[in-house]
Amino acid sequence: MKAGEVMTILDNALRIGKGVTRYGKVAAYIPELAKKDKNKLGICLYTIDGDRFEVGNTEDRFTIQSIAKVMALCLALETFGAGFVFDHVGVEPSGEAFNSLVELDNRSNRPFNPMINSGAITVASMLEGRYSIEEMQKYMQDVCEDPEIAIDEAVFESEMATCARNKAIAYLLKSKQIIDNDVEESVTFYTQMCAMSVTARNLATFGLLLANDGIQLSTGKRLISSQTVRMVQTIMLTCGMYDGSGEFALKTGIPTKSGVGGGLLSVAQKKMGIGIYGPSLDEKGNCIAGCELLGYISEAFHLHIFDQTEWKVE
Amino acid sequence: MKAGEVMTILDNALRIGKGVTRYGKVAAYIPELAKKDKNKLGICLYTIDGDRFEVGNTEDRFTIQSIAKVMALCLALETFGAGFVFDHVGVEPSGEAFNSLVELDNRSNRPFNPMINSGAITVASMLEGRYSIEEMQKYMQDVCEDPEIAIDEAVFESEMATCARNKAIAYLLKSKQIIDNDVEESVTFYTQMCAMSVTARNLATFGLLLANDGIQLSTGKRLISSQTVRMVQTIMLTCGMYDGSGEFALKTGIPTKSGVGGGLLSVAQKKMGIGIYGPSLDEKGNCIAGCELLGYISEAFHLHIFDQTEWKVE
Amino acid sequence: MKAGEVMTILDNALRIGKGVTRYGKVAAYIPELAKKDKNKLGICLYTIDGDRFEVGNTEDRFTIQSIAKVMALCLALETFGAGFVFDHVGVEPSGEAFNSLVELDNRSNRPFNPMINSGAITVASMLEGRYSIEEMQKYMQDVCEDPEIAIDEAVFESEMATCARNKAIAYLLKSKQIIDNDVEESVTFYTQMCAMSVTARNLATFGLLLANDGIQLSTGKRLISSQTVRMVQTIMLTCGMYDGSGEFALKTGIPTKSGVGGGLLSVAQKKMGIGIYGPSLDEKGNCIAGCELLGYISEAFHLHIFDQTEWKVE
Amino acid sequence: MKAGEVMTILDNALRIGKGVTRYGKVAAYIPELAKKDKNKLGICLYTIDGDRFEVGNTEDRFTIQSIAKVMALCLALETFGAGFVFDHVGVEPSGEAFNSLVELDNRSNRPFNPMINSGAITVASMLEGRYSIEEMQKYMQDVCEDPEIAIDEAVFESEMATCARNKAIAYLLKSKQIIDNDVEESVTFYTQMCAMSVTARNLATFGLLLANDGIQLSTGKRLISSQTVRMVQTIMLTCGMYDGSGEFALKTGIPTKSGVGGGLLSVAQKKMGIGIYGPSLDEKGNCIAGCELLGYISEAFHLHIFDQTEWKVE
């Protein structure tokens, strides 16, 4: 495919996304997020050949929210090893909403997976025992290649004031001895890492890092091990979109993680990283435009993991 | 029945209770409770004619624990009215364990009833907004007619250090806007009221107050309204023994509430109040001796609410 | 209370009931039941002194439906003994809807209680192994003192054609080896016993039998043992109104069982049996008028089990 | 990789599998399956270059059981289209056991996915309305390239005699109007298709068909559409191993479906189909040897979907 064709497809994708934006809503439960302009939309592709294709608001900053769970999982796997991490957090889809306590209390003695809040708080608690939030920030800056990633203090304050449910989850984890650290500090660390401010371009950069097996394209340096990359992509595919993961995998076949800040991180193995920003969310809390247009992009560029058609930008 | 016969039956009951004591265990999850002597057992009956019959360790002090839920419910009903209270807490048996979060998160927007932790913490949070813990203590002293009821500080500290699950419940209630107050203060108030130190005799006195329709026998003064007494007894009968309430109601037919401190409070309407102390607990956390011997006592004195045999101490 | 006053209260009760009839609906899921006139309402009281007070449509025939669960439980307890019966069916409120499979599959290896469908089908299956449906019919005729009680064939056929859910429950019971008999025959027996056609007067008669400790007032003969009566009343109180049992017990304090045919059976111990017919149902499938007016009647006649006021018709 | 090396790895895999066989059990709940020799083990690889590599008992016949769900899904998608099929069955992992009714009754109005019994019975019911069992058999013969695939009558009879749970599921589906056909006929069709007798070689052949995008290698004919192949592989990956799907996907990264007959079907896209037979099952009902050795094979041949290493048999 020629670069011009890629841009045409991206323009179509933007139009498709804009077409559904009005059916979504900005996150209402966090006052600071509720202020966002729901008409914003940006898409950034970063290919394995080093080409970057962008349309729309790809440089707007927004809080990374749940997408931080992916970075946190990478760092935890590299720091503590898969054995330790998966002793504390499972890798099964839960079939429940992202913030459910039910499956944790009722059906298991571990959070089902690290993409739902209970699992991510467990991972954050591990990291909090080893790293300062500044070190976590530095890690996110490195994998996204952007030294300006920083905590959005207004969002952070806003979320700390409304995090009763996450505290409930964290105290439940504590009561089950799944987390050892101080609950308040763990929740603070988790909320801080979710409040890091990124751009769609940052997410595409991080997506490409995973698509390229953990090797930074610009430097050729390995930042993340192959094994971690493989595990993280698998978990994104099976659990990344909460209780809609199965349908999303069927439709797009691209490991993806969403955040209520409006971000979407997608990894098309050996092909490209994709970052999307659109604060208008569907009922499950995913960027409504992004979910719609990713189906189109997946089709157009043959990005579905089980699509056997060869495809390349020339 | 002659008073002598009553004592014979009580002696039998004590022997029956002692027979099963060794099959139980003292509460292990609260370090201070784990130190108790599991062989202790005391039974106190206080009849509507003003007779008190006692055997065993009826003057030993122990923490009231979940039995405080009954006093708290009485005070809340009298303070805020049934309409307000039952807007925030239901009156249905949950079919789940006392400390479950599942039924709260999954099946309802209110705690199922005020005898399980979620419901009792909701009630405690209401009271905390209106009363100091000293006033709560005074209320418990009044209804038990014992000015020496006080917080057992060692148990209180021990429970505060291990109350992660109750905090999880309280934060979940907060996130669902069922409680409005500060979570930490609500949990503290709840834990303090559970750490009040009482005797089997105290419980019999309070039981008699309820059995006598809310009128203090010694003074003839009404302390609790008829309507509250009726509601509290109904809830004790249907929900007082957690997910074993149905079976207990079938067997004994006596509204009863247990506490992990080893106490049992029973109300035999128009007949007597019963207080039992035995720190050896069955698997569900109820005084193992008390549950066993209450079946015998209910049979012997015809205390089952649906037993139509007339019975009286002469 | 004078007889005239009783009639005045009954007239009020009828008016109160009629006032809410329009807010309910006749059972829609069984075509034959959907044809009923939702304005019908009848109340029959039958006191322990042998007085019968009636207003409205107390001689209309309707299918007994779930109220047959009470007769079936009585017969099973008398035939097989409490030990055997409660080995197969629990006595705990389930906190779930009457036709739920969840609590059976998930939380227990026995149906929670004999008042929900899974428990009642288990009881029916026991009886089916011992009795013909004609013998069951004869038993219902005896305890209701009405030789004309018979299967309403149209309703029976209608229900057999729409009983997929009950078959699902029965096969689940079979798969868990809780029932041994042929599933199809058990469901047929159950559906037949639910299709027996009764009047409000029949239910009052049966209610009085239980209120009088199992002794038939007209003959002085004991038809049901004291122990069975006690157990059945307890289970009616804690489980008789499904997941609304707790609230109903709080409000009326009268052991009661409803059927989707519009019937209500109530037992006011040592005082009276009450039979009500009103096919307009509330959302939980209970006679909407009956539930409303029973609160009033309970209050007026002091029928709440924890109401200590003396009351008698003179 | 040389062919000789492939054989060495297969021999190792057989040894690894044999090493864990003794820790498993043959299926006990179906008497006919319980008779199988638990020491049998066979592995067949069929590569996209047309090479077949085999070790052990690859020609033994066994009943296909749940692996038939994959063929049934293919046929249903090709017959009725994805829109119709996924209107009746979801594509989400359930987080519950394969034969659970809970998630169906409680959390959704559709079976979670077509790989669990409720979903597969729904699919079978669709097919039963359109095809005879002989046509289904013919389809299975075609995609497996073996005209000798036939119903194992002894196993079929055995399963029909013990299928109460599947009938419970089917009646629940009927009561929710998810299936329209006759329940008994749907369950019979489902049980017949599960009782088809296949070999490990058959499964490898079918696996290769999917790995080759639906085109039969020997003839170059397209038997299944690309779109169906893509969807089926995705669902196998996310849901194929029941509530262990996530962990299996993490470890092996190969879309796989197991059957309690001891079979395993695996699809390594663009590389090979894998068929395994070993009747010794782990606790979740999967071939214990196969699960173990697939991890090794995946590693050795770089078959994980997110393994970026190039690999080929020369």
Q: How many CB pairs under 8 A join B and C?
A: 105
Among B239, B134, B263, B139, residue whose Cα is nearest residue B192: B134
At B264, is the secondary structure helix, strand, or coil? strand
Alpha carbon distance A187, A170 (integer Å): 7
Q: Name the burial class of residue C264, with classes exposed (0-12), middle (13-18) and buried (19+) by CB atoms within 10 angstroms of its CB.
A: buried
Reported confidence tier of residue A107, pLDDT bands at 50, 70, 90: low
Q: Nearest-CA residue of chain D relative to C161? A: D175
CB B8 within 8 A of CB B284: no
Query: D196 — phi, psi (to 5°)?
Result: -65, 140
List the Cα angle D100/D102/D107 in 5-degree steps: 130
Q: Nearest-CA residue of chain A relative to D242? A: A92
At C77, is the secondary structure helix, strand, or coil? helix
Q: Bridge-partner residues for A46, per DSSP?
A: A52, A273
Reported confidence tier of residue C229, pLDDT bands at 50, 70, 90: very high
Give the whole-number percent of chain C exceeding pLDDT 70.
96
Tens of pLDDT, residues B187-213? 999 999 999 999 999 999 999 999 999
Contact residues on chain C for D175, CB-CB shorter than 8 A: 164-165, 168
- Residues from D contacting C (CB-CB < 8 Å) are 100-102, 105-106, 164-165, 167-172, 174-175, 183
Strand order in the sheet with A42-47: A52-56, A42-47, A272-277, A263-268, A256-258
Q: Is D66 a catalytic residue?
A: yes
Alpha carbon distance A206, A211 (integer Å): 9
Q: Nearest-CA residue of chain A relative to B176? A: A165
Residue D107, pLDDT score:
59
Alpha carbon distance B25, A310 (integer Å): 67
Contact residues on chain D for A229, CB-CB shorter than 8 A: 306
Question: Would the CB atoms of A169 and B168 count as touching at under 8 Å?
Answer: yes
Question: Would the CB atoms of C95 and B91 count as touching at under 8 Å?
Answer: no
CB B281 within 8 A of CB B27: yes
CB B72 within 8 A of CB B137: no
Q: Residue A170 corresponds to which tokens in the numbers above?
A: 């964290």
Question: In sequence order, which ranges of chain A are alpha helices (DSSP H)?
Answer: 3-21, 68-80, 82-88, 102-106, 117-128, 133-144, 153-160, 164-175, 183-194, 200-211, 226-239, 245-252, 288-301
- Residues from B contacting C (CB-CB < 8 Å) are 90-96, 103, 107, 112-113, 213, 226, 229-231, 233-235, 237-239, 243-247, 249-250, 253, 269-270, 304-308
Judged against a pLDDT cut of 90, whether residue C137 lies above it is answered with yes
Q: Is C66 a catalytic residue?
A: yes
Q: Is D190 a catalytic residue?
A: yes
Q: Is B171 a catalytic residue?
A: no
Low-confidence ranges of chain D (pLDDT < 50): none
Judged against a pLDDT cut of 90, whether residue A156 lies above it is answered with yes
- How far is residue B182 CA from its own chain's centroid? 26
Q: Which chains would you list as touching D if contact means 3+ CB atom pairs under 8 Å?
A: A, C
From the list B94, B249, B307, the residue facing C238 with the nearest CB is B249
Tens of pLDDT, residues A207-225? 999 999 999 999 999 999 9
Q: Residue D249 corresponds to which tokens in the numbers above?
A: 């996907």
Question: Would the CB atoms of C247 and B304 count as touching at under 8 Å?
Answer: no
- Residues from D contacting A (CB-CB < 8 Å) are 90-96, 103, 107, 112-113, 213, 226, 229-231, 233-235, 237-239, 243-247, 249-250, 253, 255, 269-270, 304-308
Residue C99, pLDDT score:
67
Residue linked to tokens 């890798």:
A91
Q: Which amino acid is at B44?
A: C
Alpha carbon distance A157, A136 (integer Å): 18
From the list A100, A102, A168, the residue facing B171 with the nearest CB is A168
Question: Would the CB atoms of A168 and B165 count as touching at under 8 Å?
Answer: no
Question: CB count, 10 Å around CB of A205?
Answer: 23
Catalytic residue among A46, A139, A242, A277, which? A242
Residue B98, pLDDT score:
66
Residue C29, pLDDT score:
76
Contact residues on chain C for B250, CB-CB shorter than 8 A: 91, 231, 234-235
Residue B79, pLDDT score:
98
Question: Would the CB atoms of C101 and D105 count as touching at under 8 Å?
Answer: yes
Alpha carbon distance C222, D167 (integer Å): 43
From the list B102, B105, B167, the residue facing A171 with the nearest CB is B167
Catalytic residue among A69, A91, A139, A198, which? A69
Q: Name the burial class of residue A28, with classes exposed (0-12), middle (13-18) and buried (19+) by CB atoms within 10 angstroms of its CB.
A: exposed
Q: Nearest-CA residue of chain D relative to A239? A: D246
Question: CB count, 10 Å around CB of D16?
Answer: 16
Judged against a pLDDT cut of 90, whether residue A102 lies above it is answered with no
Q: What is the DSSP string of C95-121?
A: SS-TT-SHHHHHS-SS-S-TTSHHHHH
Q: How is residue C206 annotated by DSSP? A: H
- Residues from B contacting A (CB-CB < 8 Å) are 100-102, 105-106, 164-165, 167-172, 174-175, 183
Tens of pLDDT, residues C184-212? 999 999 999 999 999 999 999 999 999 99
Q: Residue B77 corresponds to which tokens in the numbers above?
A: 């009903």
Q: Bridge-partner residues for B272, per DSSP?
A: B47, B268
Q: Nearest-CA residue of chain D relative to A267? A: D306
Question: Would the CB atoms of A306 and D230 count as touching at under 8 Å?
Answer: yes
From the list C105, C164, C169, the residue facing D174 with the nearest CB is C164
Among D309, D273, D107, B175, residue whose Cα is nearest residue A167: B175
Contact residues on chain A for B102, CB-CB shorter than 8 A: 101-102, 105-106
ipTM of the complex: 0.94
Q: Residue A35 corresponds to which tokens in the numbers above?
A: 């202020």
Question: In sequence order, which ranges of chain D are alpha helices (DSSP H)?
Answer: 3-21, 31-34, 68-80, 82-88, 102-106, 117-128, 133-144, 153-160, 164-175, 183-194, 200-211, 226-239, 245-251, 288-301
Alpha carbon distance D9, B74 (integer Å): 73
Contact residues on chain C for B224, CB-CB shorter than 8 A: none
- Ordered domains of chain C (ranges, CATH): 3-65+197-301 (3.40.710.10), 68-194 (3.40.710.10)
Contact residues on chain B for C213, CB-CB shorter than 8 A: 308
From the list A106, A164, A175, the residue facing B102 with the nearest CB is A106
Low-confidence ranges of chain B (pLDDT < 70): 95-108
Catalytic residue among B198, B242, B266, B267, which? B242
Alpha carbon distance D308, A273 (integer Å): 15
Catalytic residue among A20, A91, A229, A260, which? A260
Residue A120, pLDDT score:
97
Contact residues on chain B for A105, CB-CB shorter than 8 A: 100-102, 105
Alpha carbon distance C218, D258 (integer Å): 67
At A93, is the secondary structure helix, strand, or coil? coil
From the list C92, C95, C96, the residue facing B247 with the nearest CB is C92
Question: Would the CB atoms of B238 and C233 count as touching at under 8 Å?
Answer: no
From the list D92, D230, D249, the residue facing A234 with the nearest CB is D249
Among B197, C272, C255, residue whose Cα is nearest residue C264: C255
Question: CB count, 10 Å around CB of C159?
Answer: 24
Reported confidence tier of residue A65, pLDDT bands at 50, 70, 90: very high
Q: What is the DSSP string of D244-306?
A: GHHHHHHHT---EEE-TTSEEEEEETTTEEEEEE---B-TTSSBHHHHHHHHHHHHHHT-STT
From the list B269, B306, B308, the residue facing C306 with the nearest CB is B269
Q: Nearest-CA residue of chain B relative to C103? A: B95
Reported confidence tier of residue A72, pLDDT bands at 50, 70, 90: very high
Reported confidence tier of residue C279, pLDDT bands at 50, 70, 90: very high
Q: Is D242 a catalytic residue?
A: yes
Reported confidence tier of residue A35, pLDDT bands at 50, 70, 90: confident
Averaged pLDDT of chain C: 94
Q: What is the DSSP string of D91-118?
A: ----SS-TT-SHHHHHT-SS-S-TTSHH
Judged against a pLDDT cut of 90, whether residue A311 lies above it is answered with no
Q: Residue B123 corresponds to which tokens in the numbers above?
A: 């009630």
